[in-house]
Structure 1
Amino acid sequence: MNVLTDHLPLFWEGFIGTVFITAFSSVIAMVLGLLIAGFRVSPVPPLRFFGTAWVTILRNTPLTLLFLVTTFVVPEIFFPGMSPFLLGAIALGFYTSSFVCEAVRSGINTVPVGQAEAARSLGMTFGQTLRMVVLPQATRTVLPPLSSIFIALTKNTAIAGAFAVVELFGVQKTLSEDGYAILPIFIFVALGYLIVTFAISGLFRLLEHRMEVAR
């Protein structure tokens, strides 16, 4: 217990870092995932090819390798001086967007084709049909897998600690190197992750409940 009380500011900083990078990378993943899912079901062949390539490459690339590329290659070629936090959020967001895309695409496929055909017969464009007709109906199907994806994203933030991002697992690494007992540190770090994952799970359960009520 002394480990926590003696280093409470460090644990708190790590916890807040985990919350922030989870939230920021989740926004990136959600925006890109929706966009790429639209590409995957688009009637335009180049967009479908791009969406397929995006998902195939990112889903089959180890996250640690993606962190290495984002941390050491991207700043050298494109954006020198970017903060480790932003680079870590980009790596996590891009990686997770491929899973979000597939979850959304699966939800889109559950919507009857006649819904889209009816919308097109009214003169709606593909984008309007997707945004106003298909996605709202696919939301109930998409929410459960999205919950699991964002919980997995939270746990994946542990990798960011190895790349100079302040988060919970990085706190464990720092204190372990200082000679503190590993077991209590792991317990406190695990509790921090559980708080974040339970909050995400509760949020998605609330959304699912509201969608059921609106049905």
Structure 2
Amino acid sequence: MSQSRRAQWDSVFLRLLAVLSAVAVGVVGCARSERPIISEPDDYGGGTLVEHLLWLEEETDRAIAASGVESDWLYLFDDGEVLWGGGPRARFETLGSMLPRACGDGGRIVSDLMVRDVPNAASAAARVRSGWEQDGWTVTDVFEPAASHRAYFRAAREDGALLTCEATNSTLTLTLASDCSLDPTMSPRLEDLSERDAFLEHIMMGERP
């Protein structure tokens, strides 16, 4: 890459990081208190912030693929929503806006996604449930569905990671939470984001670290 092109890229990258910093404030402050599914940990796993982001990306893609509804998913935060897509820019925006949330003495990554106007959201949720069960998750109902067009269940793992899926009318919602980590990069008070930023630069350029 020439020096002039590199300088141009660095300028664009820094502007995007500034935007993500503003978005991340909204995400960290996001409180969906109507669905209190995440409890304090009994144990702590490991993993860096980048490793948790990669895990969440993979689990999100797997759940979306299992649902059969593979477009128009939105990543939600207090001040808006970002399209969850497969392109480098979309992944940069969504993964870059995720920062650790407090989890006992450590931190975890949590994301909320939604897709609207699903013809049969309950059937899509059933496919997600089947996929999680096949992957070895322990799946239980959060509450018994009051109607055939509704579903709400959670998938737990021994390390404390947690996934939930809710279908209401024509809307499907996913919440994914990684296990709690005591790694320094998973601290909710993390100030040094250099490792994360280097990872995001690879993502933006269509590369994988």
Q: Which has the higher strand share?
A: 2
Range into which the TM-score falls when normalised by the shorter chain: 0.3 to 0.5
Larger Rg: 1
